[in-house]
Amino acid sequence: MGVAVGAAVEAFLHHLTVERGSAANTVASYTADLRRYTAHLAGLGIDDLAAVREADVGAFVAALRSGPSPLAASSAGRALAAVRGLHRFAARDGLVPDDVARAVTPPALPSTLPRALGVDEVDQLLAGCIGDGPVALRDRALLELLYSTGARISEAVGIDRDDLDVDGRTVLLRGKGGKQRIVPVGRPALAAVDAYRVRARPALAAKGRGTPALLLNARGARLSRQSAWHALRGAAEVAGLTADVSPHTLRHCFATHLLAGGADVRTVQELLGHASVTTTQIYTHVTVDALREVYATSHPRALA
Protein backbone atom coordinates (compact mmCIF):
# COMPACT_ATOMS: atom_id res chain seq x y z
CA MET A 1 0.00 0.00 0.00
CA GLY A 2 1.35 3.40 -0.97
CA VAL A 3 1.68 6.66 0.93
CA ALA A 4 0.25 9.99 -0.10
CA VAL A 5 2.84 12.52 -1.25
CA GLY A 6 1.56 15.13 1.21
CA ALA A 7 1.76 12.71 4.15
CA ALA A 8 5.29 11.68 3.21
CA VAL A 9 6.35 15.33 3.02
CA GLU A 10 4.89 16.06 6.44
CA ALA A 11 6.66 13.05 7.93
CA PHE A 12 9.96 14.12 6.38
CA LEU A 13 9.67 17.70 7.63
CA HIS A 14 8.81 16.39 11.10
CA HIS A 15 11.92 14.21 10.92
CA LEU A 16 14.06 17.23 10.03
CA THR A 17 12.62 19.36 12.82
CA VAL A 18 12.35 16.88 15.70
CA GLU A 19 14.83 14.08 15.06
CA ARG A 20 17.59 15.95 13.26
CA GLY A 21 17.07 19.35 14.87
CA SER A 22 17.57 21.19 11.58
CA ALA A 23 17.64 24.99 11.64
CA ALA A 24 14.36 26.79 11.14
CA ASN A 25 15.64 28.40 7.92
CA THR A 26 16.55 24.98 6.53
CA VAL A 27 13.13 23.56 7.32
CA ALA A 28 11.43 26.60 5.81
CA SER A 29 13.53 26.27 2.63
CA TYR A 30 12.76 22.55 2.34
CA THR A 31 9.07 23.23 2.94
CA ALA A 32 8.92 25.71 0.07
CA ASP A 33 10.85 23.44 -2.29
CA LEU A 34 8.74 20.39 -1.45
CA ARG A 35 5.58 22.40 -1.94
CA ARG A 36 6.77 23.03 -5.51
CA TYR A 37 7.49 19.33 -5.89
CA THR A 38 4.07 18.30 -4.60
CA ALA A 39 2.42 20.67 -7.10
CA HIS A 40 4.60 19.24 -9.88
CA LEU A 41 3.56 15.68 -9.07
CA ALA A 42 -0.09 16.71 -8.80
CA GLY A 43 0.18 18.14 -12.29
CA LEU A 44 1.33 14.72 -13.47
CA GLY A 45 -1.61 13.10 -11.72
CA ILE A 46 0.61 11.50 -9.05
CA ASP A 47 -0.52 11.46 -5.43
CA ASP A 48 1.17 8.23 -4.32
CA LEU A 49 4.90 8.66 -3.59
CA ALA A 50 5.48 5.00 -4.55
CA ALA A 51 4.22 5.81 -8.04
CA VAL A 52 6.97 8.39 -8.68
CA ARG A 53 9.67 7.37 -11.15
CA GLU A 54 13.17 8.74 -11.74
CA ALA A 55 11.95 10.47 -14.91
CA ASP A 56 9.35 12.38 -12.88
CA VAL A 57 12.04 13.76 -10.58
CA GLY A 58 14.18 14.71 -13.57
CA ALA A 59 11.20 16.45 -15.14
CA PHE A 60 10.77 18.48 -11.95
CA VAL A 61 14.35 19.77 -12.17
CA ALA A 62 13.89 20.58 -15.86
CA ALA A 63 10.67 22.46 -15.09
CA LEU A 64 12.46 24.56 -12.47
CA ARG A 65 15.03 25.62 -15.07
CA SER A 66 12.46 26.55 -17.74
CA GLY A 67 9.20 28.43 -18.02
CA PRO A 68 8.47 32.13 -17.51
CA SER A 69 10.40 32.36 -14.21
CA PRO A 70 13.29 29.87 -14.39
CA LEU A 71 15.39 29.28 -11.31
CA ALA A 72 19.16 29.62 -11.28
CA ALA A 73 21.13 26.37 -11.34
CA SER A 74 22.04 26.82 -7.67
CA SER A 75 18.39 27.27 -6.63
CA ALA A 76 17.26 24.29 -8.70
CA GLY A 77 20.04 22.24 -7.12
CA ARG A 78 18.85 23.23 -3.66
CA ALA A 79 15.29 22.16 -4.52
CA LEU A 80 16.56 18.82 -5.82
CA ALA A 81 18.45 18.33 -2.55
CA ALA A 82 15.13 18.63 -0.69
CA VAL A 83 13.46 16.16 -3.06
CA ARG A 84 16.31 13.66 -2.78
CA GLY A 85 16.16 13.99 0.98
CA LEU A 86 12.43 13.20 0.90
CA HIS A 87 12.84 10.07 -1.24
CA ARG A 88 15.86 8.86 0.75
CA PHE A 89 13.88 9.23 3.98
CA ALA A 90 10.83 7.48 2.54
CA ALA A 91 12.88 4.54 1.24
CA ARG A 92 14.82 4.17 4.48
CA ASP A 93 11.62 4.15 6.56
CA GLY A 94 9.92 1.65 4.25
CA LEU A 95 7.29 4.07 2.99
CA VAL A 96 8.32 3.29 -0.61
CA PRO A 97 10.27 0.35 -2.02
CA ASP A 98 13.01 2.33 -3.81
CA ASP A 99 14.83 5.66 -3.73
CA VAL A 100 14.01 6.81 -7.25
CA ALA A 101 15.69 10.22 -6.84
CA ARG A 102 19.12 8.86 -5.94
CA ALA A 103 20.56 8.99 -9.48
CA VAL A 104 19.09 12.38 -10.46
CA THR A 105 21.89 14.92 -10.70
CA PRO A 106 21.62 18.67 -10.09
CA PRO A 107 22.07 21.11 -12.99
CA ALA A 108 25.64 22.14 -13.70
CA LEU A 109 26.70 25.43 -12.16
CA PRO A 110 28.08 28.08 -14.51
CA SER A 111 31.83 28.69 -14.63
CA THR A 112 33.03 31.35 -12.20
CA LEU A 113 36.20 32.26 -14.06
CA PRO A 114 36.51 36.03 -14.46
CA ARG A 115 36.46 37.58 -17.90
CA ALA A 116 39.95 38.02 -19.23
CA LEU A 117 40.78 41.61 -20.07
CA GLY A 118 42.30 42.32 -23.45
CA VAL A 119 45.94 43.35 -23.68
CA ASP A 120 44.91 46.98 -24.23
CA GLU A 121 42.65 46.85 -21.17
CA VAL A 122 45.48 45.44 -19.05
CA ASP A 123 47.70 48.31 -20.24
CA GLN A 124 44.89 50.66 -19.22
CA LEU A 125 44.64 49.01 -15.81
CA LEU A 126 48.40 49.17 -15.20
CA ALA A 127 48.35 52.83 -16.18
CA GLY A 128 45.77 53.39 -13.42
CA CYS A 129 48.60 53.65 -10.87
CA ILE A 130 49.08 57.39 -11.13
CA GLY A 131 51.77 59.44 -9.40
CA ASP A 132 55.41 59.29 -8.33
CA GLY A 133 54.88 58.90 -4.59
CA PRO A 134 56.00 55.79 -2.69
CA VAL A 135 52.53 54.21 -2.63
CA ALA A 136 51.89 54.79 -6.33
CA LEU A 137 55.28 53.33 -7.26
CA ARG A 138 54.65 50.34 -5.01
CA ASP A 139 51.21 49.74 -6.49
CA ARG A 140 52.60 49.90 -10.02
CA ALA A 141 55.27 47.35 -9.08
CA LEU A 142 52.62 45.11 -7.50
CA LEU A 143 50.31 45.15 -10.53
CA GLU A 144 53.16 44.65 -12.99
CA LEU A 145 54.35 41.66 -10.97
CA LEU A 146 50.88 40.15 -10.81
CA TYR A 147 50.43 40.33 -14.58
CA SER A 148 54.02 39.46 -15.44
CA THR A 149 54.20 36.33 -13.25
CA GLY A 150 50.61 35.12 -12.88
CA ALA A 151 51.10 35.15 -9.13
CA ARG A 152 48.21 34.98 -6.72
CA ILE A 153 47.90 38.13 -4.62
CA SER A 154 49.01 36.15 -1.56
CA GLU A 155 52.11 35.00 -3.46
CA ALA A 156 52.96 38.51 -4.64
CA VAL A 157 52.83 40.04 -1.16
CA GLY A 158 54.88 37.08 0.10
CA ILE A 159 57.84 37.94 -2.15
CA ASP A 160 61.00 38.87 -0.24
CA ARG A 161 63.72 41.09 -1.69
CA ASP A 162 66.10 38.16 -2.11
CA ASP A 163 63.46 36.16 -4.02
CA LEU A 164 63.86 38.40 -7.05
CA ASP A 165 66.75 37.54 -9.36
CA VAL A 166 67.15 40.65 -11.48
CA ASP A 167 69.99 39.30 -13.60
CA GLY A 168 68.19 36.02 -14.27
CA ARG A 169 64.84 37.83 -14.65
CA THR A 170 63.05 35.34 -12.36
CA VAL A 171 61.28 35.39 -9.03
CA LEU A 172 60.64 32.72 -6.42
CA LEU A 173 56.95 32.37 -5.52
CA ARG A 174 55.64 30.50 -2.50
CA GLY A 175 52.33 28.90 -3.39
CA LYS A 176 49.66 26.88 -1.65
CA GLY A 177 50.75 24.07 0.60
CA GLY A 178 54.25 25.47 0.92
CA LYS A 179 55.06 24.67 -2.72
CA GLN A 180 57.61 26.93 -4.37
CA ARG A 181 58.20 27.70 -8.02
CA ILE A 182 60.51 29.94 -10.02
CA VAL A 183 58.90 31.94 -12.81
CA PRO A 184 60.23 34.48 -15.32
CA VAL A 185 59.61 38.21 -14.89
CA GLY A 186 59.17 40.53 -17.86
CA ARG A 187 61.26 43.65 -18.36
CA PRO A 188 58.38 46.14 -17.73
CA ALA A 189 57.75 44.50 -14.35
CA LEU A 190 61.46 44.54 -13.51
CA ALA A 191 61.61 48.23 -14.41
CA ALA A 192 58.60 48.99 -12.20
CA VAL A 193 60.10 47.05 -9.31
CA ASP A 194 63.45 48.79 -9.77
CA ALA A 195 61.77 52.21 -9.68
CA TYR A 196 59.93 51.18 -6.51
CA ARG A 197 63.04 49.78 -4.79
CA VAL A 198 65.16 52.85 -5.55
CA ARG A 199 62.62 55.66 -5.16
CA ALA A 200 59.96 54.33 -2.78
CA ARG A 201 60.91 51.34 -0.64
CA PRO A 202 63.59 53.13 1.45
CA ALA A 203 61.06 55.76 2.53
CA LEU A 204 58.50 53.12 3.45
CA ALA A 205 61.06 50.89 5.18
CA ALA A 206 62.21 53.79 7.35
CA LYS A 207 58.81 53.72 9.07
CA GLY A 208 59.05 50.05 10.02
CA ARG A 209 61.24 47.75 12.09
CA GLY A 210 62.94 45.98 9.24
CA THR A 211 61.42 43.23 7.11
CA PRO A 212 62.68 41.19 4.17
CA ALA A 213 59.40 41.80 2.33
CA LEU A 214 59.69 43.39 -1.08
CA LEU A 215 56.34 45.19 -1.01
CA LEU A 216 55.73 47.35 2.06
CA ASN A 217 52.74 49.21 3.43
CA ALA A 218 52.71 52.79 4.68
CA ARG A 219 53.94 51.62 8.12
CA GLY A 220 56.96 49.82 6.71
CA ALA A 221 55.57 46.32 7.24
CA ARG A 222 54.77 43.66 4.66
CA LEU A 223 51.84 44.60 2.42
CA SER A 224 48.72 42.59 3.24
CA ARG A 225 46.50 40.74 0.80
CA GLN A 226 43.64 43.11 1.59
CA SER A 227 45.76 46.19 0.89
CA ALA A 228 47.02 44.64 -2.35
CA TRP A 229 43.43 44.01 -3.44
CA HIS A 230 42.52 47.62 -2.62
CA ALA A 231 45.46 48.79 -4.73
CA LEU A 232 44.20 46.72 -7.66
CA ARG A 233 40.68 47.98 -7.16
CA GLY A 234 41.87 51.58 -6.99
CA ALA A 235 43.75 51.26 -10.28
CA ALA A 236 40.67 49.66 -11.83
CA GLU A 237 38.50 52.58 -10.73
CA VAL A 238 40.91 55.05 -12.32
CA ALA A 239 40.89 52.96 -15.50
CA GLY A 240 37.10 52.56 -15.47
CA LEU A 241 37.32 48.75 -15.33
CA THR A 242 35.84 48.01 -11.90
CA ALA A 243 33.12 45.66 -13.18
CA ASP A 244 35.71 43.33 -14.71
CA VAL A 245 38.33 43.25 -11.96
CA SER A 246 38.72 40.70 -9.15
CA PRO A 247 41.71 39.51 -7.09
CA HIS A 248 42.40 36.86 -9.76
CA THR A 249 41.93 39.13 -12.79
CA LEU A 250 45.59 39.66 -13.68
CA ARG A 251 46.40 36.00 -12.97
CA HIS A 252 43.60 34.95 -15.32
CA CYS A 253 44.78 37.45 -17.96
CA PHE A 254 48.33 36.15 -17.62
CA ALA A 255 47.25 32.60 -18.45
CA THR A 256 44.80 33.59 -21.17
CA HIS A 257 47.25 35.86 -22.98
CA LEU A 258 50.04 33.29 -22.81
CA LEU A 259 47.82 30.62 -24.35
CA ALA A 260 46.64 33.07 -27.01
CA GLY A 261 50.28 33.82 -27.76
CA GLY A 262 51.04 30.17 -28.44
CA ALA A 263 52.23 28.85 -25.08
CA ASP A 264 51.34 25.22 -24.41
CA VAL A 265 48.99 24.31 -21.57
CA ARG A 266 51.63 22.37 -19.63
CA THR A 267 53.96 25.35 -19.49
CA VAL A 268 51.14 27.65 -18.36
CA GLN A 269 50.13 25.20 -15.64
CA GLU A 270 53.73 25.06 -14.47
CA LEU A 271 53.93 28.85 -14.38
CA LEU A 272 50.65 29.09 -12.46
CA GLY A 273 51.63 26.37 -9.99
CA HIS A 274 48.35 24.54 -10.61
CA ALA A 275 49.76 21.01 -10.93
CA SER A 276 48.95 18.24 -8.45
CA VAL A 277 51.79 16.03 -7.23
CA THR A 278 51.17 13.59 -10.09
CA THR A 279 50.94 16.32 -12.68
CA THR A 280 54.08 17.99 -11.35
CA GLN A 281 56.04 14.81 -12.12
CA ILE A 282 54.94 15.15 -15.74
CA TYR A 283 56.35 18.68 -15.83
CA THR A 284 59.75 17.99 -14.24
CA HIS A 285 61.48 18.14 -17.63
CA VAL A 286 60.42 21.79 -18.05
CA THR A 287 63.49 23.73 -16.92
CA VAL A 288 63.68 27.38 -15.91
CA ASP A 289 65.47 28.13 -19.20
CA ALA A 290 62.66 26.49 -21.18
CA LEU A 291 60.06 28.42 -19.18
CA ARG A 292 61.92 31.65 -19.84
CA GLU A 293 62.08 30.97 -23.59
CA VAL A 294 58.36 30.19 -23.91
CA TYR A 295 57.51 33.18 -21.70
CA ALA A 296 59.65 35.54 -23.78
CA THR A 297 57.92 34.55 -27.02
CA SER A 298 54.37 34.41 -25.66
CA HIS A 299 53.78 37.05 -22.99
CA PRO A 300 52.70 40.50 -24.27
CA ARG A 301 54.95 42.36 -21.83
CA ALA A 302 57.93 40.02 -21.65
CA LEU A 303 60.22 42.18 -23.78
CA ALA A 304 58.27 45.41 -24.21
Question: For 261-293, b where at least 16 C-beta lie within 10 A, e where not — what string?
Answer: eebeeebbbbbbbebeeeeeeeeeebeeeebbe
Kindly list the catalytic residues. 152, 176, 248, 251, 274, 283
Cα separations in angstroms, 257 against 118, 148, 241, 291: 8, 11, 18, 15
CA–CA dist 140, 86 (Å, integer): 56
The three-state secondary structure class of 160 is strand
For residue 37, give every residue at least 6 positions away whose Cβ sits within 8 Å of its Cβ, in sequence order, or none: 9, 60, 79, 82, 83, 86
Spatial CA neighbour of 145 closest among 90, 191, 113: 191
CA–CA dist 122, 49 (Å, integer): 57
* 141, containing H or E segment: helix 134-149
